[in-house]
Structure 1
Amino acid sequence: MQKTSPLFLACSFLFLGVVQAQITDLRSLLAPGATVELLGDGYKFTEGPTPDKNGNVYFTDQPNNTILRWDATSGEISTFAAASGRSNGLYFDKKGNLVACADMDNQLWSWDKNGKHTTLIENYDNKLLNGPNDLWVDKKGGIYFTDPLYKRDYWTRDPAMQQDGQHVYYLSPGGKTLTRVAEDLKQPNGIVGTTNGKTLYVADIGDRKTYVYDIQKDGSLANKKLFVEMGSDGMTLDSQGNVYLTGRSGVMIYDKSGAEIGNIPTGKGWTANVCFGGKDRKTLFITAMDAVYGVKMNVPGAK
């Protein structure tokens, strides 16, 4: 892990030929004087950040096949799993297990607190999934996840699409039933739901759009509406219901109506994912290319 000052960070961007744009914040979401702080670097490609109940953030370095842990007290980063199944998106369930989109064999895994994993899903309709990418666990314990196709050089399987399209799935509480809940998207990727379990946001990164759905009692989705004309690799929500999307422009922030209210550039070519962490859930944790960053916020993440 490497830490640095905001001044050094800005100079680093200039040295790399990338000028960091001004942070915009129209609703005073950021803490006074907040800057983009480098928390760790030297990775290949960071993804999938998610906090545990204590605010420690787990994230993946998919090319290096590892899951890492940022400590909310010390700021130190350590390895949680050195053989992660090429995990991408992560999310904690209500029992404290870490659920992972394990892309090596196109499965969903669940890690217990001791670092032992079990397989939750191996296939759909007796066919391999394309490659589970991102997920969200609802308050009942059901799991929504996206299944786009990104061909990997580490696959030993046929790299062609395994399913008849790129869809969104729902694994019912207890893992009894796996169903498709969205079949009309081009390439779904980022996904997150509201804490009351009523609303789900899904990014169609292939069509450069993000949609919002009403979640039904049986876990199905209804009333699909366009949220914003922007796709997203990952996403999160704050306690006010604002939506944080990621991509080439860093982190874009939108209110519930879809109005743009902020932008946090990282100075990287791609910003993959984002979550709220820290003991008070007021650190915006950002994964971008070979590094992870933190930004102090006025508003905590949704719980």
Structure 2
Amino acid sequence: MNPSKLTLVMAALLVCSQAFSQEIEDKRGIVAKNAELVKVQDGFEFTEGPAVNRFGDVFFTDQPNNRIHKWNAISNEVSVFKEDAGRSNGMYFMLDGTLVAAADNKNELWAFDTDGNHTIWIKAFKGKKLNGPNDLWVRPKGGIYFTDPLYVRPYWEDREKESEQAGQNVYFLSADKTELFTVAEDLTQPNGIVGTPDGKFLYVSDIGAKKTYKYEMREDGYLINKTLFCELGSDGMTIDDRGNVYLTGDGVTVFNRNGDQIAHIPVPAKWTANVVFGALDRKTLFITAMDAVYTLQMKNRGVW
């Protein structure tokens, strides 16, 4: 990017913190007292994929503009981390600082180092293009689960608009990246995904069926004992230290570990795409919604 273009981009992305006093439904007191939703910045096209590093900074994507941005948890400033980001969607940080991204420009899984240099970890499955990796979660013991729904993108130029795979599935990539296999093949359109920090349970949203399921994770990565968690689908998802699960779409809807709705956080946008806990204490809920990103102070902490 040339300097003049970068100046225009950053001018359009000036921090514009603005509080919203919409009523938050909170049955269990998970939101900090008197907290309000704050718009950190707007001027994007469609924000997605928030991922938190060990310093509490949140990296998120503006997928139509093919950029990854960084929110500094201390200064509250947003900067451009990576141009030409492979149309990254969902992202997640590994313990060594590697940022893994579902890059659906060519239906791949990418990994970025701290300087923004990328390597391609997955290009295909059984010799055929994936539908478009969408969201992912890194298991504490190693290995990556990711969803692969089919959303036809206007920027696809070198592929057919129909799936080369047999379905829209969930995959597992082993920690040493030598094995890639399907772990859920009976979903309509899997999207959001998140696991528990003990590595025992995985939540997968079937947004096409408007449901979210809970699985047990086996040591080898396979999923067993699928159960219905709640009658609501989700785009992105996160989890807090009490086991509450945060789903997105119409704002943020929170369910306890039993699948009972305990909170709803309205967001002034047509669609809320994703959510994660940021800041060093993991008590700042960071929300990506259409052309803007928001924060909300919480009592509960996120897990990482």
* Deviation digits for residues 255-294 of structure 1 (CA, Å, limit 9, x no counterpart): 0000100000102110000000011110000000000000
2-structure distance, mates of 1:130, 1:238: 30
- Inter-partner Cα distance in structure 2 for 1:85 and 1:217: 31
Shift in Å, 1:162: 1.7
Structure 2: any 5+ residue segments left out of the alignment? 1-13
- Once residues 189 and 53 of structure 2 are traced to their aligned partners in structure 1, the CA distance between those partners, rounded to angstroms, is 28
**Structure 1 runs (4+) greater than 3 angstroms displaced:** none
Partner of 2:172: 170
Q: Provide the C-alpha distance between the structure 2 equivalents of 1:106 and 1:5, rounded to a whole number of angstroms.
A: 36
What code does the residue aligned with 1:159 have?
Answer: K
Structure 1, 154-163 or 64-73: larger mean CA deviation = 154-163
Q: What is the TM-score of this pair, normalised by structure 1? A: 0.94
On the 8 A contact 2:240/2:300 being kept in 1, the answer is: yes
Query: SS at the partner of 1:53?
Result: coil
Residue identity in the other structure for 1:191:
I
TM-score by length of 2: 0.94
1:24-43 matches, within 5 Å, as: 24-43=25-44
Question: 1:242 aligned to 2:255?
Answer: no
The number of equivalent residue pairs is 290
User: 2:301 corresponds to which residue?
Assistant: 300
Among candidates 219, 225, 228, match of residue 226 of structure 1? 228
RMSD: 0.8
- Equivalents in 2 of 1:83, 1:238: separation in Å? 32
| SS in structure 1 of the partner of residue 176 of structure 2 | helix
Matched with 1:17 is: none
Please state if 1:201 is matched with 2:214.
Answer: no
- Percent of aligned pairs with the same residue? 55
Residue in structure 1 matched with residue 271 of structure 2 by the alignment: 270
Whether contact under 8 Å (1:57, 1:70) holds in the other structure is: yes
The answer on whether the counterparts of 1:106 and 1:122 sit within 8 Å (CA) in structure 2 is yes
Q: Which residue of 2 aligns with 1:14?
A: none
Counterpart Cα distance in 1 of 2:120 and 2:207: 27
By how many angstroms is 1:5 displaced? Answer: 3.3
- Superposed counterparts of 1:105-124, under 5 Å: 105-124=106-125
Give the match's secondary structure for 1:81: strand
1:208 Cα deviation (Å)? 0.1
Asked whether the 8 Å contact 1:94–1:141 carries over to 2, the reply is no
Q: Which residue of 1 aligns with 2:189?
A: 187
**Partners of 1:55 and 1:152 in 2: CA distance:** 32
Which residue identity is paired with 2:203? Y
1:213 is paired with a residue whose SS is strand
- Which residue of structure 1 lines up, in the alignment, with residue 18 of structure 2? 5
> Which deviations, in whole Å up to 9, do the C-alpha atoms of 1:84-107 show, x marking residues without a partner?
000000001121100000010000
The one-letter amino acid of 2:205's match is: A
Asked if the contact 1:245–1:253 (Cα under 8 Å) also holds between the matched residues in 2, the reply is yes
List runs of 5+ in structure 1 lacking aligned partners.
11-19
Amino acid at match of 2:140: K
